[in-house]
Structure 1
Amino acid sequence: MDSHHFLETALVFLVATVIAVPLTKRFKLGSVLGYLMAGIVIGPQELRLINDTAGVATISEFGVVLMLFVIGLELSPQRLWVMRRQVFGTGLLQVLATSLVIGAAAYYLFGLTVNAAAIVGGSLALSSTAFGLQILAERKEAGTPYGRQAFAILLFQDLAAIPLIAAVPLLASASTKHGFDLMAVGRTVGIIVAVMVGGRYLLRPVFRFVAKADTVEVSTATALLVVMGTAWLMEVVGVSATLGAFLAGVLLADSEYRHELESHLEPFKGLLLGLFFISVGMSMDVTLLLHQPLRVAMLVACLLLIKGALLWPLGRVVGGLDRRDAMRLAVLLACGGEFAFVVLKLAREQSLITAEQHGLQVLAITLSMAITPLLVALFGKVFQAKPKAARAFDTIVADSPRVIIAGYGRMGQIVARVLRAQGISFVALDHSVEQIDLVQRFGSNNNIFYGDPSRPELLRAAQADQADVFVLASDDPEASLRTARVVRRMYPTMKIVARARNRQHAWRLMDLGVELPVRETLYSSLKMTRMTLEALGMPAEQAADRVERFRRHDAELLKRQYLVYDDDARIVQTTREALADLDQLFQADAEPEPKRVRTKPTGVTPGDEDVTR
């Protein structure tokens, strides 16, 4: 390939990717479909911009190798042990059951050989990890019971893909007239053992030696060397190169170099994996969809129905999900997956399946992946959880509290802990059921109650008229302002100590008579600034003095801007003036004997507390 042709090919790939992938992502169809569509359009069947599909496929297969290595890195023994029940329970049963049913259908209905049916059944049992995790993340459902179950099944499917890829050459050799090749099996087992044992004692010393050089490019080169070297070694003895990459990843999964390796290889993996999916799209026989639409539609329907019908009872019985979550699990994982492209391509090269069978299955997998986001959205609306009945406010039992705390997040909890240690009585109110349940689960807090602190009847029940101070620690600015209005109206003489999200929130609280609201990030930022100055070599006393002077200057600016905070032009002007004043103030420190009275910093060390809710 000459340089001109290479540049032209690279340009076509990049243009197709930049156009297709953002479009599919925009419609929440995933990047994989974008790559496949780009491959179809630029391939030999449509625009014919690229005809060398074999050359592209050869380069792109390295993306699969890197993907398997990264998957191996993520499969640390500790992680698998923690999720052993879900991964090796539901995941194992799903892969076995789906492989058997689809394999039997391929053997009896479509006339495939036993070995070919086994490979087809195993490949179609796998779902799309990229699609599944992306949909869960977009819908913010990764932490739900069905989301955790889906992740465990996908994790086992990634594991199952490795022996499936390794089995293709062995089953292909068994399909020949010579029968099952025992030498091939022995050679495979021997090289796997050699790689595992050798890598265990060689890889870590190598990475330790390279790490001493402290050079990023050498570390990246070493990571690529390990992946390519193991893959090449496996290929030399007739075993899948992807299996070698996976084993190398597993060997380094619990090492201290895991995260560094992942960061070095991620850009290569993403680009080359995208190139692999483009090459799959280029090799797809789209004419089959035009000539045999009913057959393709039947394959897609059978794939979705068989996998969904098997996933639903597994989710209910083994996973312990309710009907709604079991159905959502079935819909999410019923499609085919990206590993099926790898396995079926290898099976086609090994003559286990014909070109037409390969084309039909690739089309069915692609269409099932395209339909999945739409089905998930549809079933998400149909099986949307019914809103829970509003919980009644707690009955408050208080004995003349001196402080009322509104909002019991981390900021409110810190105030409460200090008050409790000082023996000061208080009542805490929070409008979040989850927050109250979480707090009560971790200790006996008899003076913490569920309720909306902006409700006058709740404040009366909490005996707010007996309190001296009202601590407004809510993290919701609007709820905070609403509560402040009610408290100021009902108890005009009560002192209010309020948390403010930012300057605008602070000014609105000041409108309600709250003096100097506590901006939630100010003091922690000042503490970080002081530590930064000390880290740069400034004496601790001088650093504390600079920070304290800035705090006082900023507090004065807050009061000045409060008078004009509804005038944007005046705000900008006062900000510029304040910056100039601050510059002059600090420039005075450069004088040999500054003519000013230095105020000793306060003894408060702000920012030690965690102020986020």
Structure 2
Amino acid sequence: MEGFLFQASVYLAAAVIAVPIAARLGLGSVLGYLAAGILIGPVLGLVGSETKDVQHFAEFGVVMMLFLIGLELEPRALWDMRHRLLGLGGAQLVLSTAALMGIAMAYDQPWRVALAIGLTLALSSTAIVLQTLTEKNLMRTQGGRSVFSVLLTQDIAVIPILAFLPLLAASIPPGMLPDGSISLDPDKVESAHVGGDGGNVNEAAHAALTFVQNLPGWGVTLVTFGAIAAIILVGVYLTRPVFRYIHLAKLREMYTALALLIVVGISSLMTLVGLSPALGAFLAGVVLASSEFRHELETDLEPFKGLLLGLFFITVGAGVNFELLFEKPLILVGMALLVIIVKALILLVLGRMFRLKGRDGWLFTLALAQAGEFGFVLVSFSIATGVMPDRIAETLLVVIALTMLITPLLFILYDGISKRLDDAGPITPDEIDQSGPVIIAGVGRFGQMVNRMVQASGFETVVLDHNPETIAVMRRFGFKGFLGDPTRPDILRKAGLQDARVLVVALDNPSAAVALIAYARKENPNLHIVSRARDRTEVYRHYQAGANDITRELFDSSLRAGRYVLENMGMSDFEANEAQKLFYAHDRASVRELAALWQPDVPPSQNAAYVARAKELQKELETAFINLGAEKDKERA
């Protein structure tokens, strides 16, 4: 027990110390976890042979992550991804496997071993990539969605790869490795037989596993489809009654226990029938994506997923065989870089073929260029089934670990490329051949809605945006827009700023928006300026710059949501509407008053006059609502 507590303290202390430092340096949490593992393993020697056992336990974090990702995808969304899953993901696997197999054969490896190497290295790291994409808010970009499609395809492909690998050893005599050496380590054979975790399973699980393995091919197929059908049926029909039953206990920890039971139970079932636990968990997540318990499951499992993934990354760093690395560092690092370069070139070509350009193309290329954690599983399985000799497997494990260690650096490279794309210099603007009474600067979600409404009402607009892709999408849907920087005076003059009646400022860059408002107000004092601001501070900046009507993001939607709450608390539609109107009018007046007290160089919380007046205005609002309620009571009487 003391040893377990000491090891747990070492792992947790390493994470607590290294990860915040890496995050503060802008390196991301993944690189922090990997560095922590290297520190407590090869450098200080605080952890040893138990790292592999911990790693197999920590791989459950990947299973949880895929379950949570599945919760974000409804079945219809998954069906919409089918072309990328089959086309983009399938092409990446086939081409990467073929290229890496060819390189292995060029170094005199038998084709069977070379094919096993190619299949192993073609996979990417689901854990590192998805964690980093989530941290950097890149999952919803086109590049992020394409990366996820390929990763999902790879996770699904692990199943047929595990079924196929033993066939590569079919012609090898029992006990003989592909290179002619004799004898397999019985421990490794048993480890692979029970799932590659090197641990002991209980008798019931072992009996079930033996039963499944002894079935004929058609029997295994039926059991497999039965397991998948069971997951779907339980998710659709049994989840709601079980959650209602748990709700009767009124114990918060029971929800957490149920969430863990769902993931652990599915993983156990998938392992028994020879399928990937990660795939089963993802499928269960998709089934439950439309249930009302989705957010409950996400909240309960998120902390476990984060800790287990962090532990997994630490074990990857701690498990790097530095003795082998120090024996031939140039060769192993060169092999890792070769894998990354070959996969990156293939991904770059596929990205162009699937119309991934700019930062999306670079994200797709750099995010998937490494080998992945499933590579460790495939290497162990290849050794146990006699496909791959030990000496090659040890080298391959180090190469896989090195590519995973390099991955955070690839994301840093992506950040640099993205910044360079942003700073690449002025774009060549379109020749603006029209002017109108309304100019819309910036056509994101906000600008699009304004433009559609104004045009539908019969008024002409001149739309300006500096993003070529945004303008291209507009034109595809039949809306005219001009490519150009809306803050440039020459472009504004060509758009008719001097004669325009209304300017809509919908730029994402806060400083650029303020500069545009100030310039437009100076050039055309009679211009009515409507702007979008993220918060009150930006409202004050826009107000001082000369904007007339300022729309705060989420303000109107928040008012509408508050009205829905009041209606469901017993107010009539009319009363809730009156309360909404009162709050709106009071807030508008308050913002104008506070704008006069706001000081750009002083935080509002440290501005005594601002704070005092804000408190007074809040009391006035409460009094106004009390008076409104009293009036309604009189009307009812």
Scaled by the length of structure 2, the TM-score of the pair is 0.71
In the aligned structure 2, how far is the partner of 1:226 from the partner of 1:392?
56
Partner of residue 204, structure 2: none
Distance 1:175 1:205, change over 3 A: farther
In the aligned structure 2, how far is the partner of 1:100 from the partner of 1:524?
52
Distance 1:63 1:350, change over 3 A: farther
In the aligned structure 2, how far is the partner of 1:480 from the partner of 1:70?
38
Partner of residue 242, structure 2: 210
User: How far did residue 46 of structure 1 move?
Assistant: 3.8
User: How far did residue 340 of structure 1 move?
Assistant: 0.9
User: How far did residue 209 of structure 1 move?
Assistant: 2.7
User: How far did residue 122 of structure 1 move?
Assistant: 1.2
In the aligned structure 1, how far is the partner of 2:440 from the partner of 2:359?
36
Per the alignment, in what secondary structure is the counterpart of residue 528 of structure 2?
strand
2:608 equivalent to 1:569 = yes
Contact 2:127 2:309 in 1 (8 A): no
- Which stretch shows the higher mean deviation, 212-221 or 340-349? 212-221
Per the alignment, in what secondary structure is the counterpart of residue 364 of structure 1?
helix
2:71 equivalent to 1:99 = no
Equivalent of 1:271 in 282, 299, 307 = 307
Equivalent of 1:299 in 335, 338, 353 = 335
User: How far did residue 366 of structure 1 move?
Assistant: 1.9
User: How far did residue 303 of structure 1 move?
Assistant: 2.5
Equivalent of 1:122 in 113, 119, 122 = 119
Structure 2: 5+ residue stretches without partners = 177-192, 194-212
User: How far did residue 302 of structure 1 move?
Assistant: 3.8
For residues 85-234 of structure 1, what are the structure 2 equivalents within 5 Å? 85-103=83-101, 106=104, 109=107, 114=112, 116-133=113-130, 149-167=146-164, 175=172, 177=174, 186=217, 188-202=220-234, 204-213=236-245, 215=247, 220-232=256-268
Partner of residue 579, structure 1: 618
Kindly provide the CA deviation profile for residues 185-238 of structure 1, in whole angstroms up to 9, marking residues without a partner as x: 6364453234234445455333243133253755554554454445445655xx
Scaled by the length of structure 1, the TM-score of the pair is 0.74
User: How far did residue 10 of structure 1 move?
Assistant: 1.9
Partner of residue 609, structure 1: none
User: How far did residue 130 of structure 1 move?
Assistant: 3.9
In the aligned structure 1, how far is the partner of 2:493 from the partner of 2:446?
20
Distance 1:511 1:344, change over 3 A: closer
2:406 equivalent to 1:371 = yes
Equivalent of 1:496 in 528, 538, 560 = 528
User: How far did residue 290 of structure 1 move?
Assistant: 1.8
In the aligned structure 2, how far is the partner of 1:267 from the partner of 1:76?
23
Contact 1:64 1:273 in 2 (8 A): yes
Partner of residue 567, structure 2: 534
Contact 1:128 1:335 in 2 (8 A): yes
In the aligned structure 2, how far is the partner of 1:414 from the partner of 1:113?
58
In the aligned structure 1, how far is the partner of 2:516 from the partner of 2:59?
61
In the aligned structure 1, how far is the partner of 2:344 from the partner of 2:215?
37
Equivalent of 1:396 in 434, 441, 463 = 434
Contact 1:149 1:319 in 2 (8 A): no
User: How far did residue 157 of structure 1 move?
Assistant: 1.9
Kindly provide the CA deviation profile for residues 223-280 of structure 1, in whole angstroms up to 9, marking residues without a partner as x: 54454445445655xx64x525634643663454594656544443443344344444
Contact 1:393 1:450 in 2 (8 A): no
Q: Amino acid of the residue matched to residue 287 of structure 1? A: E
Q: Amino acid of the residue matched to residue 211 of structure 1? A: F
Contact 2:517 2:529 in 1 (8 A): no
Q: Amino acid of the residue matched to residue 329 of structure 2? A: P
In the aligned structure 2, how far is the partner of 1:474 from the partner of 1:404?
13
Bigger radius of gyration among the two: 1
Kindly provide the CA deviation profile for residues 477-528 of structure 1, in whole angstroms up to 9, marking residues without a partner as x: 6566555556655655x37364463555655666677777666665554444
- Which stretch shows the higher mean deviation, 7-16 or 96-105? 96-105
In the aligned structure 1, how far is the partner of 2:541 from the partner of 2:312?
56
2:11 equivalent to 1:10 = no
In the aligned structure 2, how far is the partner of 1:576 from the partner of 1:100?
69
In the aligned structure 2, how far is the partner of 1:461 from the partner of 1:381?
34
Distance 1:219 1:512, change over 3 A: closer
Equivalent of 2:323 in 281, 287, 292 = 287
Distance 1:24 1:171, change over 3 A: farther
Per the alignment, in what secondary structure is the counterpart of residue 394 of structure 1?
coil
Distance 1:382 1:456, change over 3 A: closer
Q: Amino acid of the residue matched to residue 18 of structure 1? A: V
Higher relative contact order structure (alpha carbons within 8 Å, sequence separation ≥ 6)? 2
- Which stretch shows the higher mean deviation, 264-273 or 157-166? 264-273
Kindly provide the CA deviation profile for residues 146-204 of structure 1, in whole angstroms up to 9, marking residues without a partner as x: 6655444333222222332445567678756299x995763644532342344454553
Equivalent of 1:82 in 80, 100, 104 = 80
Per the alignment, in what secondary structure is the counterpart of residue 537 of structure 1?
coil
In the aligned structure 2, how far is the partner of 1:64 from the partner of 1:484?
48
Partner of residue 208, structure 2: none
Q: Amino acid of the residue matched to residue 390 of structure 1? A: T
Contact 2:130 2:148 in 1 (8 A): yes
Distance 1:478 1:204, change over 3 A: closer
Distance 1:252 1:518, change over 3 A: closer
Distance 1:561 1:123, change over 3 A: closer
Partner of residue 18, structure 2: 20
Kindly provide the CA deviation profile for residues 45-90 of structure 1, in whole angstroms up to 9, marking residues without a partner as x: 8423455446535644544554566677788765554344443234
Q: Amino acid of the residue matched to residue 308 of structure 2? A: L
Contact 2:30 2:408 in 1 (8 A): no
Per the alignment, in what secondary structure is the counterpart of residue 56 of structure 1?
helix
Per the alignment, in what secondary structure is the counterpart of residue 396 of structure 1?
coil
Distance 1:27 1:194, change over 3 A: same
Q: Amino acid of the residue matched to residue 336 of structure 2? A: V
Q: Amino acid of the residue matched to residue 204 of structure 1? A: V
In the aligned structure 2, how far is the partner of 1:156 from the partner of 1:220?
30
In the aligned structure 1, how far is the partner of 2:305 from the partner of 2:135?
22
- Which stretch shows the higher mean deviation, 436-445 or 299-308? 436-445
C-alpha RMSD over aligned residues: 4.9
- Which stretch shows the higher mean deviation, 353-362 or 338-347? 353-362
Q: Amino acid of the residue matched to residue 164 of structure 1? A: I
Q: Amino acid of the residue matched to residue 87 of structure 1? A: L
User: How far did residue 15 of structure 1 move?
Assistant: 1.0
